[in-house]
Amino acid sequence: MVVVIKLPKFTPRERPWLRETLWCLASGAVLQAGPCGVDCLSRVAFSAQGLLADGRRTIPSAGGIYPLHLYVLSAGGFSIGEGAWRYDPLSHSLEEVEEPGDLFDGFLVTAEARRTYAFYGERGYRYVRLEVGHALQNLLLSLTSHGLPASVEMVALELSDRETPCARVTLRREAGAPCRGFQLEPSIALDRAFLERRSVREYAKKSVDLEALLRVLKWSLGELTPGGRPYPRLQGGYRVEAVVVASRVKGLEKGVYAFNPRSMELEPLRLGDYADELCSISLRQYCVCRAPATVVLGGEGLVSEVEAGLVAQNMYLNAVQESLGTVAVGAFEDEGLSALTGIERPLYLLPLGYPAR
């Protein structure tokens, strides 16, 4: 008989704050919390794959296909005992599955890419790897907020039509260093950001403030601490770079700018109005054509696709903080975008603007 654990309803907390948790993740530290019981497991699983009341999930998915699965594995470190469980977002429950050979305390993210491949072709595999990054970032933020230090190991990046283990998140046995030194900035609660994240495709004509744009970039991929960005290093390093195409940014001349993660500044690459060119390169997608600013993410190697998903999820959450909207766009003319931005291998477009009311 299959054992099913019905998880308690996700109940958002007033603390910790989003940017407090991002700071801690960049620091390699955790917030102080108690043992991870069923309430903790409920929040962690929901953050990575949860189904919201309006049918959205806590992360985006190309074509609304949602090819990922989340498994909870316990070698005795969780209150549910030893075993392996698959998270079901529809019922918000854990269904017992056959234990893998190497049981550990943590989580496994897998992908069934065949439907995404059938819809998008070879590019669909990139979309799935990007989605793995989105799920991992929410998972790690939630673990950090519960005082659970964890490490990430990429298991497989080459996908097929079978269920493929992509990433393994292992809870570390040593107690996490308590997070200190956070510099207070206005911030919403982390759980609220999870709930309010959405894909916004229509933007008001209002310009985006330069300060708001820089805060989104800073808290998404800036070095908040020496050498530490607000997401994990995958395979030992950071590979993703960001370029902004600015059309209507208050306090910034129109043009193409590289974001420097260390100085948190925008460095001009090309000045001028490139909105029409970007619109054409994006296959005339309305959200890109009308956005006041668009962030382009790129990087070399398959692992950079997962990293771009980590960064993009941060951008979604920080857009909520700034009352902005964004949507992850993966379809564009690669060569044209590379020529415009100087990014050799562009991976993602993230238009930014105030949502149209």
Segment 258-286, tens digit of pLDDT: 999 999 999 999 999 999 999 999 999 99
- CATH code assigned to 4-171: 3.40.109.10
- Asked if the model's pLDDT at residue 9 lies above 90, the reply is yes
Structure tokens of 73? 């594995």
Q: What are phi and psi of 311, to 5 degrees?
A: -65, -45
CB 291 within 8 A of CB 24: no
CA-CA distance, 105 to 88, in Å (whole number)? 19
CATH class of 199-353: alpha beta
Quote the tokens at residue 339: 């020529």
Cα–Cα distances in angstroms (integers) from residue 153 to residues 69, 107, 167, 245, 329, in the given order: 16, 11, 6, 33, 26
Average pLDDT across the chain, whole number: 94
Percent of the chain at pLDDT exceeding 70: 97
Are 72 and 171 contacting, i.e. CB atoms less than 8 angstroms apart? no
Establish whether domains 4-171 and 199-353 are of one fold.
yes
Distances, alpha carbon 242 to alpha carbons 139, 183, 225, 228, 294, in Å: 23, 24, 18, 16, 10
Percent above pLDDT 90 for the chain? 84
What pLDDT digit, counting tens, does each position of 144-201 carry? 999 898 999 999 999 988 999 999 999 987 765 678 656 667 789 999 999 999 999 9
Distance separating alpha carbons of residues 16 and 145, to the nearest angstrom: 7
Residues in the chain: 357
Closest CA to 113 of 60, 156, 160: 160
pLDDT at 80 over 70: yes
Note the pLDDT of residue 179: 81
- The least confident of 11-25, 28-42, 210-224 is 28-42
**What is the reported pTM?**
0.96
CA–CA distance, 140 with 32 (Å, rounded to integer):
15
Chain centroid to CA 179: how far? Answer: 21
Domain ranges of the chain: 4-171, 199-353
Q: Which amino acid is at 75?
A: A
